[in-house]
């Protein structure tokens, strides 16, 4: 697979998103930032297996940052799965979430191969 990939996503209603994934960027920030019409919400540094991070909201009222401490995300996922199997909660992520993720990744690969945009069909619940 690729060691560096950049994706441009266009959603219904005109929303545009970019994403970069890389195993080669040393000291990468590993952030998710969402910009909206009234502010910005960022998960700063919290997307790795054992990484703690901050959640930052910036809007007209100012800047608010909250620290969060996460455990091992894989252990947490297995515990949630076990509870759901025994009827104590929902599967997270759901099977539908997994299917959608696979469809998006296959479209990403196809677009990279052809150099053309690939439409991912919307599935209403």
Q: Is 85 helix (H, G, I), strand (E, B) or coil?
A: helix
**Position 125 confidence tier, pLDDT thresholds 50, 70, 90:** low
Asked whether the beta carbons of 47 and 30 are under 8 A apart, the reply is yes
Residue 1 pLDDT > 60, yes or no? no
pTM for this structure?
Answer: 0.63
Rounded to 5°, angle at Cα 77 from 71 and 82: 125
The reported pLDDT for the residue numbered 51 is 67
Residue range 85-103: mean pLDDT, rounded = 91
What mean pLDDT value characterizes the chain? 86
CB atoms within 10 A of CB 79: 13
Domain ranges of the chain: 1-70, 72-117
Residue range 25-44: mean pLDDT, rounded = 86
**Cross-strand partners of 65:** 56
**Top-confidence residue, 109 or 58:** 58
CB atoms within 10 A of CB 53: 20
The reported pLDDT for the residue numbered 72 is 76
For residue 110, give the H/E element and its range. Answer: helix 95-114
Residue range 1-5: mean pLDDT, rounded = 71
The reported pLDDT for the residue numbered 103 is 93
CB atoms within 10 A of CB 56: 16
């Amino acid at each position: 697979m690729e060691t560096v990939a950049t994706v441009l996503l266009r959603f219904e209603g005109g929303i545009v998103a970019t994403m970069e994934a890389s195993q080669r960027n040393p000291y990468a920030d590993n952030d998710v930032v969402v910009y909206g019409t009234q502010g910005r919400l960022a998960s700063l540094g919290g997307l790795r297996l054992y990484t703690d991070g901050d959640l930052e909201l910036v809007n007209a009222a100012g800047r608010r940052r909250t620290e969060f401490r996460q455990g091992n995300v894989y252990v947490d996922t297995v515990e949630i799965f076990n509870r759901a199997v025994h009827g104590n909660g929902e599967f997270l992520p759901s099977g539908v979430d997994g299917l959608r993720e696979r469809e998006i990744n296959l479209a990403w690969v196809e677009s990279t191969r052809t150099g053309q945009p690939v439409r991912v069909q919307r599935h209403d619940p």
